[in-house]
């Protein structure tokens, strides 16, 4: 199973349950998938992957993905390096 080699923000869904949801595009080799990433001010987060990602990796939920910890860390700390600004924009 390969690690993602490209992740970018596609769109901001906005405020949901005192947090912010974002649509991400994730590229693994030559295949592009969409992931929903939700986070809040307490650094809680949730991930949801599109059905093609789940099918290609033969998993029922993204939390079964073998690189989930690396993926979540990268999204939370690199892709969303401006989390505080995003939270202020959508939660105020």
pLDDT classification of 1: cutoffs 50, 70, 90: very low
Q: What are phi and psi of 70, to 5 degrees?
A: -65, -45
pLDDT in tens, 37-71: 999 999 999 999 999 999 999 999 999 999 999 99
Residue 2 binned pLDDT confidence (cut-offs 50, 70, 90): low
- The percent of residues in the chain predicted with pLDDT above 90, rounded, is 87
Alpha helices in the chain (DSSP H): 51-56, 68-74, 83-91
Bridge partners for 24 per DSSP: 9, 35
Does residue 36 surpass a pLDDT of 70?
A: yes
The pTM of this model reads 0.88
């Amino acid at each position: 199973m390969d690690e993602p080699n490209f992740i970018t923000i596609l769109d901001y869904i906005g405020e949901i349950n005192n947090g912010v949801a974002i649509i991400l595009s994730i590229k693994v080799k030559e295949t592009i998938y969409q992931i929903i990433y939700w986070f809040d001010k307490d650094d809680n987060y949730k991930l949801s992957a599109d059905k093609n990602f789940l099918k290609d990796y033969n998993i029922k939920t993204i939390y079964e993905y073998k690189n989930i910890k690396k993926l979540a860390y990268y999204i939370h700390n690199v892709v969303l390096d401006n989390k505080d600004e995003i939270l202020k924009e959508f939660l105020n």
